[in-house]
Amino acid sequence: MSFAVPQPLRREPRWIGLFFLLPLLTIGWAGPSEAARPISQQLTPPPGDYLTPERLDAELLELEKTYGRLELSRMGQSHGGRTIWLCTFRSPQYAANRPEALIVANLEGDRLAATEVAMGLVRRMATRSSIWAQSGTLHIIPCANPDGFAQAVQGLPPTRGAAIDEDRDGQTDEDGPIDLNGDGRVLWVRIPSAAGEWYSHPGDERAMVRVENAQQHAGAFRLMREGWDQDGDRQMLEDGPGGISIDRNFPHRWKQYAASAGPYPLSEVESSLLARFVISRPKIA
């Protein structure tokens, strides 16, 4: 089944949807070494039991083939040519006069747990009867940013598209996190500082707690990514690997001069597809 995107937009988009946003944060210590490894932007990969883009595609196609409840549509393709899937559950008997709901997961690309949660709901809806069959129509997008998703499962930043010169020095991505001590990981570094905003938790020194009210605290640290000033401009990590962040490319609170927000609202195919879909479904509420 294919999804035809309606042309052109004639009114401002109204965003009503449910976003599963489950951020993952890992903080570690990386000490200095005599010679840093060559510039590497690879971050710590996630656990191996998360879905990959390939496994996600295969499972959705298998669910559609096996169970008749799932209507699987291709909304379109991402900047990198990956499919953006739309899962729909409805009963023809009730769909015409009942409301619709939309669940969008993983706009950021690195919210792997969000895609897992959305896929768990897709599996449940596909394999079991649900009250939604009589209540209305449910749309689920398990991964709205498949390019960022593909980056994240490899331990890379979830941005996509062309690199950005964030410090405007004529170079791109020249001063980002690197693996200083050669352990194969790019972690977070704690730097002792009386003016630091973090300190070790009394119960577990590996955990960090933010200093309240920006007051000086004994044993405080500054927290930054592993790396150093690679371009000699006396700034640290100010131009790392970059591109467009899809979740920052929507009209609501779009920042004109934020490089990762894109040249204009809905400039990216992923955000534009989602906006057009919502506008084409006035029953989403």
Residue 179 confidence (pLDDT) above 50: yes
Q: How far apart are CA 258 and CA 274, in angstroms?
A: 21
Helices 112-127 and 53-66 cross at an angle (nearest 10°) of 10
Query: Is the residue at 30 inside a domain?
Result: no
Residue 119 confidence (pLDDT) above 70: yes
Q: Is the domain of 106 the same as that of 205? A: no
Residue 132's pLDDT is: 77
Residue-wise pLDDT for 18-48, tens only, equals 333 333 222 233 333 333 333 344 545 555 6
Tokens of 226: 């592993």
Query: Is the residue at 96 inside a domain?
Result: yes
Residue 16's pLDDT is: 33
pLDDT tier, 104 (very low <50, low <70, confident <90, very high otherwise) = very high
Neighbour tally for 3: CB within 10 Å: 17
Q: Is the domain of 204 the same as that of 124? A: no
Residues 6+ apart with CB under 8 A from 46: 24, 112, 152, 153, 155
Residue 265 confidence (pLDDT) above 70: yes
Q: Is the domain of 270 the same as that of 131? A: yes
* Pairing status of strand 188-192 against strand 220-225: antiparallel
Q: Is the domain of 59 the same as that of 128? A: yes
**Does residue 86 or residue 219 have the better pLDDT?**
86
Residue 111's pLDDT is: 92
Tokens of 121: 């709901």
Q: Is the domain of 254 the same as that of 214? A: no
Residue 181's pLDDT is: 81
Find out whether 102 and 13 touch, Cβ atoms under 8 Å: no
Query: Is the residue at 55 inside a domain?
Result: yes
Mean pLDDT of 67-75: 94
Q: Is the domain of 57 the same as that of 134? A: yes
Which of 183-192, 232-241, 260-269 has the largest mean confidence?
A: 260-269
Q: Is the domain of 94 the same as that of 196? A: no
| pLDDT-above-70 percentage for the chain | 72
Q: Which of 40, 82, 56, 11 shows the shortest CA–CA distance to 176?
A: 40
Q: Is the domain of 62 the same as that of 148? A: yes
How deeply is 15 buried, as exposed, middle or buried, from its count of CB atoms within 10 A (0-12, 13-18, 19+)? middle
Mean pLDDT of 266-284: 93
Residue-wise pLDDT for 182-218, tens only, equals 887 777 788 888 888 888 888 888 888 887 765 666 7
Q: How far apart are CA 97 and CA 206, in angstroms?
A: 55
Residue 130's pLDDT is: 82
Mean pLDDT of 249-270: 87
Which of 45-49, 74-78, 96-100, 153-157 has the largest mean confidence?
A: 74-78
Q: Is the domain of 221 the same as that of 148? A: no
Burial of 26-49, coded b for 16+ CB within 10 Å and e otherwise, reads eeeebeeeeebeeeebbbeebeee
Residue 154 confidence (pLDDT) above 90: no
Residue 44's pLDDT is: 54
CATH code, domain with 60: 3.40.630.10
Burial of 213-231, coded b for 16+ CB within 10 Å and e otherwise, reads eeeebeebbeeebbbeebe
Q: Is the domain of 114 the same as that of 201? A: no
How many domains does the structure of the chain reveal?
2
Range of the domain at 221: 188-225
Burial of 253-262, coded b for 16+ CB within 10 Å and e otherwise, reads ebeeeebbbb
Residue 131, φ and ψ in degrees, nearest 5: -65, -20
Query: Is the residue at 61 inside a domain?
Result: yes
